Chain A
Amino acid sequence: MPIGKDEILRIANLARLFVSEEEIGPLQRHLNGILEHFERLKELDLEGIDPFAFECDTAGSSRQDAVSVWPGREDVLAQAPNREGDFFRVPRILDESDEVHLDECR
C-alpha cells in the first residue's frame, strides 16, 4: 500500500524532523519509489538465513578498561549552543498540563 501524507507526518514525528507542506509530496514519491524497488527483495530465496548471523572476522580484541586522556570538559561544553555553567540548557521539557499532573502526584 503506498505511503500517504499522514504516514509521512507520522514518520517525521518519530524522526523528530519538521517537514513542511511543500516537502511532503516529494518525500511521498521518493519513499514509495524505494519501497517499490524493495519488492524485488521479496522474490529472493532467503529461507534459512539468520539475519543476525553476520560473519564477523573483523572483530577487534577487547581493550583494557583504563582511563585515557580525553579533551577536557570545557572543550566539549564550549560547543554547546546554550549552556549554563557546566550544564547544557534546554527549553522546558514539561508543558503546563504535565505540571498540573505532577502537582496532583505530589
Chain B
Amino acid sequence: MNAAEMAKAVREAKISAVEIAEGAIGRIRLIDSDVRALLTPLFERALEKAEEIDRKIELKQDPGPLAGVPVIVKDNLCMRGQVTTCGSRMLENWRPPYDASVVRFLEEAGAVILGKANMDEFAMGSSTENSAFFPTANPWDLERVPGGSSGGSAAAVACGYVPLALGSDTGGSIRQPAAFCGVYGLKPTYGLVSRFGLVAFASSLDQVGPFARSVEDLALAMNVLSKPDPADATSSWTTRPDYAAFLGRENLKGMKVGLVSEFEDYPVQSEITEALARVESILREAGAEFVPVSLPTTIEAGLPCYYILAPAEASSNLARYDGVRYGLSAEAESLMDLYMKTRGLGFGPEVKRRILTGTYVLSSGYYDAYYLVAQKARIRISREFRSAFEGADMILMPTTPTLPFRKGEHQDDPIQMYLSDVFTLPVNLAGLPGLSLNAGYSKSGLPVGVQFVGPKWGEGTLLAAAEAVERVLGKPTCAFGGEKA
C-alpha cells in the first residue's frame, strides 16, 4: 500500500493505525540491523500517536490526509523533547524545545513518526558515511552507500519501512540518495516548504522535501508540507496549488522538455545515459516535445560556486555551537579554550573542512576574490536556467554521474565525493525544484535515477511527467522483497 491508500484505509476504518505502525516496526526490526537507516527509533511514541488516530476514527473525527501513515524524518528536523543529533557528536544529547514546522504539519495531518533517520553530519556529505554514529548501507547492495546526506530517509523508503520520509536538500541531499536507493525524491522550490526547525546548514540553499515510492504520495506529501510559515522569513506566501490536481493527465501533449546541449559531453555512466534515453522515449510517447536548451556555464561553474557559498554559510551557521547554551561542552580553563576544544571535539572531519573553507573565503582580504565572485556566478547560473525555461517547461537530466559507489570509495578524496552532486547542486543555487525518479536497474541490480528540473513553482509539471513515466515503468519496488508499509 502507498501512503494515500493507507490513509484511505485508516479513515474508512478498514485497518487501524496501530496495526500499520506495528507492521512497519516489525519490518524495521527485521531489516534495519543490516541497513541501519534509523538513528533514533521512536516506536513507543509512535504507537501512542497511532492509538490517538484510531480513537479519532472511533469518534468519527477526521485525523487528516495522512491518517495513520508511518513516516520517518531526517535527524536534522527538530522534534520537541526528542533527541535531534544531526548526525553529530555535537548534538548527541540535544532535545529541542520545539518542533520543526514540517514535523508539526505531518502530525497535524495524522502521520505517525516512527523515528529519526541517519544522515551525514550536519547534512554535509553524499554517502551517509559522515554520520558520527554509523554509516547506512544501500538497501540494494549492502557494500555500497545509499547516497547522502539524507541516506537514512531514502533507505527507509526503499526498504519498505514507510511509504514516506522527509529529507533536506542543500546541494542534492534528497535527489542523490533517492537515485541511489531507487525511490522518488523531490527538492521543492526554495521558499515553498518551511525551514523552521530544520537545523541550518546553508540557509539560502536548504530545503525540506519528501521521499516516496509513488508519484501520488509525493503529491500528497507536498499538499501537507508546502504551507506558508510565519516562523520562516524566507517562506513564500504564494498560493499553493493542489498538487494532486496535476496527476491523472491523459497525455503530456503541449509539454516541452529541455535537453541540455552542454551536458552531452559530460562523462556519465552508460546505464544512466540509457536510462535517460528510456525516459525520453516514454515522455515522447506520452506526447511531450523535446527541445534543446543551453546552460553554458552551469556544469563548470556550479561545483566551485557551491563549494564556496555553502561552506561560507555553514561556517556562519555553525558558529552557534560554542559549548555554552546547548550541545557538547568540553572541559576548559578559559572561554577561548571552551570554544576551541568543544568545536574540535564535536565536529567530524568533513564539517571541519567546510567550516575552515567557509571561514577562509569570508576572511578579510579573500572575501572579494572568492565569496563575491561565487555570488556573481550563482546569479549567472540562475539566469541561465531562467533563459532555458523560456523555451521549455522542464529539463530532463541525470541526477548523478554514477551509480551508487562502494563504501569508503571516496572517503580519502572529498572532491571526488563532491562530484557526485554535480548535476544536483546547480538546482539549489538557482532555487529551483528538482525531482529524482527511478528509471530502472543496472545489470548488477543497482537502481538508476534520472532528474527532472523545473522553473520556480514548477513542481506540478515535474509530478505530471513523473506520473507518465510511472505508468510505463511501474512504481519503484522495495528492496528485500515485498510491497510493505
Contacts and interface: CB of A to CB of B under 8 A. Distances in A.
Interface of A: 3, 7-8, 11-12, 14-20, 23, 26-27, 30-31, 33-35, 37-38, 40-42, 44, 46, 49-55, 57-61, 63, 70-71, 75-76, 78-82, 88, 90-93, 95
B431 A44 contact: no
B344 to A, nearest CB: 3
A90 B331 CA distance: 10
A81 to B, nearest CB: 3
A60 B373 contact: no
Contact of A44 (B80, B326, B380): B380
Contacts of A78: 97
Contact of B235 (A46, A60, A81): A60
Interface of B: 80, 94-95, 97-98, 189-191, 228, 230, 232-238, 297, 300-301, 303-305, 307-308, 315, 319, 322-329, 332-341, 343-345, 347, 349, 352-353, 355-357, 359-360, 363, 370, 372-380, 382, 414-415, 431, 456
A51 B347 CA distance: 31
Given A19-B352, A38-B308, A60 B325 contact: no
B377 A33 contact: no
A11 B301 contact: no
A79 B431 CA distance: 34
Given A58-B189, A79-B95, A46 B380 contact: yes
B329 A38 contact: no
The 3 closest A-B pairs by CB, nearest first: A18-B344, A58-B191, A81-B329
A30 B353 contact: yes
A90 B190 contact: no
A51 B335 contact: no
Given A12-B356, A91-B334, A54 B379 contact: yes
A41 B305 contact: yes
Given A54-B379, A82-B329, A27 B303 contact: no
27 contacts: A14-B359, A15-B343, A17-B340, A18-B340, A18-B341, A18-B344, A18-B345, A23-B352, A31-B357, A33-B415, A38-B374, A44-B297, A44-B301, A55-B379, A55-B382, A57-B456, A58-B191, A58-B238, A58-B431, A59-B236, A60-B228, A60-B233, A60-B236, A80-B326, A81-B323, A91-B333, A91-B337
Contacts of B189: 58
Nearest to B300: A40
Nearest to B364: A14
B365 to A, nearest CB: 11
A44 B327 CA distance: 42
A18 B344 CA distance: 5
B236 A46 contact: no
Contacts of A63: 230
Nearest to A53: B379
Contacts of B374: 38, 41
B274 to A, nearest CB: 29
B237 A60 contact: yes
A106 B264 CA distance: 73
